[in-house]
Amino acid sequence: MSKLERLMNLTAALLSAERPLTARELRERVPGYPDEKASFRRAFERDKDDLREMGVPLVVEAVPGTDPIVDGYRIPKDEYYLRDPGLDPDELAALHLAARAVHFDSVSHAEALRKLGGVVDDPGEPGDLAALPNAPALASLFTALIEHRLVRFTYRGDERVVEPRRLDFQRGRWYLTGFDRLRDDERHFRLDRIEGEPATDDRDTAPPPVDSQATWRQPWELGDDHPVRARVLVDADQAGWVANELGEEVVAERRDDGSLVLEMGVSDEAAFRSFVLSFLDHGEVLDPPELRDMVVSWLRELSR
Amino acid sequence: MSAASRLSAGQRLERLLSIVPWVAARDGASIEEIARRFDYPQERLLSDLQDVVFMVGLYPFTPDQLIEVMVDDGKVWIRYAEYFERALRLSPDQALALVAAGQSLLAVPGAEADGPLARGLAKLARSLGLEGGAAIDVRLGAAPADIIDSLRTAESTNTQVEIDYYAFGRDERSRRVVDPLRLFVEGGQWYLFAYCHQAEDERVFRVDRVNAVNPTGTTFVPPDRRPVPTVYRPRDDDARVTLRLSPDAAWVPEHYPCESVERDGDDLVVELAVTAVPWLERLLLRLGPAATIEAASAGIPADLARIAATRLLERYDRGVSRK
Helical pair B92-107 and B116-128, crossing angle rounded to 10 deg: 150
The residue in chain B having the minimum alpha-carbon distance to the alpha carbon of residue A127 is: B184
pLDDT at A125 (0 to 100)? 53
CATH of residue B157: 2.30.30.100
Is there a domain that residue B225 lies in?
A: no
For residues B10 and B128, membership in a common domain is answered with: yes
pLDDT at A218 (0 to 100)? 76
Is there a domain that residue A223 lies in?
A: no
For residues A49 and A70, membership in a common domain is answered with: yes
d(CA B153, CA A63): 63
Asked if residue A154 has pLDDT above 90, the reply is yes
DSSP H helical ranges for chain A: 3-16, 23-29, 37-53, 77-80, 89-101, 109-115, 138-146, 236-246, 269-277, 289-303
Contact flag A28-B59 (C-beta cutoff 8 Å): yes
For residues A48 and A76, membership in a common domain is answered with: yes
Is there a domain that residue B228 lies in?
A: no
CATH of residue B316: 3.30.70
Contact flag B96-A116 (C-beta cutoff 8 Å): no
Contact flag A146-B97 (C-beta cutoff 8 Å): no
For residues B150 and B128, membership in a common domain is answered with: no
> Of A195, A217, A239, which marks where a domain is finished?
A217
Residues 175-194 of A with CB under 8 A from B: none
For residues A125 and A151, membership in a common domain is answered with: no
Q: Write out the residue range of the structural domain in which residue A97 sits.
A: 89-132
Residue from A132, A205, A209, A140 nearest A174 by CA: A132
Contact flag B89-A169 (C-beta cutoff 8 Å): no
pLDDT at A216 (0 to 100)? 62
Question: B185-216: buried (b, 16+ CB within 10 Å) or exposed (e) per residue?
Answer: bbeebbbbbbbbeeeeebbbbbbbbbbebeee
For residues A209 and A232, membership in a common domain is answered with: no
pLDDT at B232 (0 to 100)? 61
For residues A103 and A161, membership in a common domain is answered with: no
Helices (H) and strands (E) in chain B, counts: 9, 13
The dihedral region occupied by A23, where left means phi > 0, alpha psi between -120 and 50, and beta the remainder, is: alpha
pLDDT at B2 (0 to 100)? 47
For residues B162 and B125, membership in a common domain is answered with: no
Say which residues have a Cβ less than 8 Å from residue A201's Cβ, sequence separation at least 6: A149, A150
Q: Is B121 on the interface with A (CB under 8 A)?
A: yes
Is there a domain that residue A24 lies in?
A: yes
Please, is A301 exposed, middle or buried when counting C-beta atoms within 10 Å of its C-beta (0-12, 13-18, 19+)? Answer: exposed
pLDDT digits (tens, 9 = 90+) for A203-252: 777 777 777 666 666 778 866 678 899 999 999 988 888 887 788 889 99
d(CA B173, CA B160): 20
pLDDT at B311 (0 to 100)? 95
Instruction: Give the one of A126, A240, A281 whose C-beta lies nearest to B211's C-beta.
Output: A240
Instruction: Give the one of B91, B120, B183 whose C-beta lies nearest to A91's C-beta.
Output: B120
Residues of A whose CB is below 8 A from B313: 296, 299-300, 303
Q: Count chain A–chain B contacts defined by CB atoms under 8 A.
A: 348
Whether residue A284 contacts residue B315, with contact meaning beta carbons closer than 8 Å, is answered with: yes
The residue in chain B having the minimum alpha-carbon distance to the alpha carbon of residue A210 is: B133
Residue B56: strand, helix, or coil: coil
CATH of residue A24: 1.10.10.10
Q: Write out the residue range of the structural domain in which residue B304 sits.
A: 239-321
The residue in chain A having the minimum alpha-carbon distance to the alpha carbon of residue B290 is: A302
For residues B79 and B8, membership in a common domain is answered with: yes
DSSP H helical ranges for chain B: 9-24, 31-37, 42-47, 92-107, 116-128, 145-157, 252-255, 277-287, 304-317
Please, is A255 exposed, middle or buried when counting C-beta atoms within 10 Å of its C-beta (0-12, 13-18, 19+)? Answer: middle
- State the total domains in chain B: 3
Is there a domain that residue A271 lies in?
A: yes
Q: Is A274 on the interface with B (CB under 8 A)?
A: yes
Average pLDDT over residues A145-163: 90
Residues of A whose CB is below 8 A from B173: 237
Q: What is the ipTM of this complex?
A: 0.78
CATH of residue A183: 2.30.30
The residue in chain B having the minimum alpha-carbon distance to the alpha carbon of residue A244 is: B143
Is there a domain that residue A266 lies in?
A: yes
For residues B203 and B245, membership in a common domain is answered with: no
For residues A74 and A98, membership in a common domain is answered with: no
Optimal mutation site among B136, B181, B205, B252, interface A, most CBs of chain A within 10 A: B136
CB count in 10 Å sphere of residue A275: 22
For residues B169 and B208, membership in a common domain is answered with: yes
- State the total domains in chain A: 4
Per residue, the 3-state secondary structure of B101-167, as one string, reads: HHHHHHHCCCCCCCCHHHHHHHHHHHHHCCCCCCEEEECCCCCCHHHHHHHHHHHHHCEEEEEEEEE
Say which residues have a Cβ less than 8 Å from residue A195's Cβ, sequence separation at least 6: A153, A154, A155, A157
Is there a domain that residue A94 lies in?
A: yes
Whether residue A223 contacts residue A267, with contact meaning beta carbons closer than 8 Å, is answered with: yes
Contact flag A169-B209 (C-beta cutoff 8 Å): no
Is there a domain that residue B234 lies in?
A: no
Looking at CA atoms only, how far is residue B128 from chain A in angstroms? 7
> Of B134, B160, B175, which marks where a domain is finished?
B134
Residues of B whose CB is below 8 A from A207: none
Whether residue B274 contacts residue B280, with contact meaning beta carbons closer than 8 Å, is answered with: yes
Residue from B175, B155, B157 nearest B165 by CA: B175
% pLDDT > 90, chain B: 57
For residues B210 and B265, membership in a common domain is answered with: no
Q: Is B18 on the interface with A (CB under 8 A)?
A: yes
Residue A147 backbone phi and psi in degrees, to 5 = -100, 10
Optimal mutation site among A27, A51, A108, A114, interface B, most CBs of chain B within 10 A: A114
For residues A234 and A207, membership in a common domain is answered with: no
Is there a domain that residue A211 lies in?
A: yes
Instruction: Give the one of A112, A167, A281 whose C-beta lies nearest to B315's C-beta.
Output: A281
pLDDT at A283 (0 to 100)? 94
Handedness of CA B196, B198, B199, B200 (dihedral sign): positive
pTM of the predicted protein model = 0.76
Residues of A whose CB is below 8 A from B133: 165-166, 208-212
d(CA A152, CA A201): 9
| Residue type for position A275 | F
Is there a domain that residue B139 lies in?
A: no
pLDDT digits (tens, 9 = 90+) for B157-181: 999 999 999 988 888 889 999 999 9
d(CA B114, CA B277): 48
Looking at CA atoms only, how far is residue B77 from chain A in angstroms? 16
For residues A101 and A144, membership in a common domain is answered with: no
Instruction: Give the one of B86, B102, B286 whose C-beta lies nearest to A95's C-beta.
Output: B102
For residues B246 and B181, membership in a common domain is answered with: no
> A131 forms bridges with which residues in the sheet?
A103
Helical pair B277-287 and A269-277, crossing angle rounded to 10 deg: 160
Is there a domain that residue B37 lies in?
A: yes
> A164 forms bridges with which residues in the sheet?
A178
Say which residues have a Cβ less than 8 Å from residue A179's Cβ, sequence separation at least 6: A162, A163, A165, A185, A186, A187, A206
pLDDT digits (tens, 9 = 90+) for A270-292: 889 999 999 999 999 999 999 99
Residues 55-94 of B with CB under 8 A from A: 55-59, 61, 83-94
% pLDDT > 70, chain A: 94
pLDDT digits (tens, 9 = 90+) for B61-87: 988 899 999 999 999 999 999 999 999
Is there a domain that residue A222 lies in?
A: no
Whether residue A196 contacts residue A150, with contact meaning beta carbons closer than 8 Å, is answered with: no
Q: Is A171 on the interface with B (CB under 8 A)?
A: yes
Whether residue B252 contacts residue B270, with contact meaning beta carbons closer than 8 Å, is answered with: yes
Is there a domain that residue B258 lies in?
A: yes
d(CA B163, CA B214): 6
Residue A207: strand, helix, or coil: coil
> Of B134, B157, B182, which marks where a domain is finished?
B134
pLDDT 10s digit of each residue in chain B, 323 long?
Answer: 444 458 888 899 999 999 999 999 998 999 999 999 999 999 999 999 999 999 999 999 988 899 999 999 999 999 999 999 999 999 988 999 999 999 888 887 667 888 999 999 999 999 998 876 668 888 888 787 788 889 988 988 999 999 999 988 888 889 999 999 988 887 778 889 999 999 998 888 999 889 999 999 999 998 876 666 666 666 777 889 999 999 888 888 877 778 888 999 999 999 998 888 999 999 999 999 999 999 998 889 999 999 999 999 999 998 877 65
Question: A51-74: buried (b, 16+ CB within 10 Å) or exposed (e) per residue?
Answer: beebbbbbeeeeeeeeeeeeebbb
> Of B112, B134, B156, which marks where a domain is finished?
B134
Secondary-structure breakdown of chain B: helix, strand, coil percentages, each rounded to the nearest 5 = 40, 30, 30
Q: Is A255 on the interface with B (CB under 8 A)?
A: yes
Strands B159-167 and B172-186: antiparallel
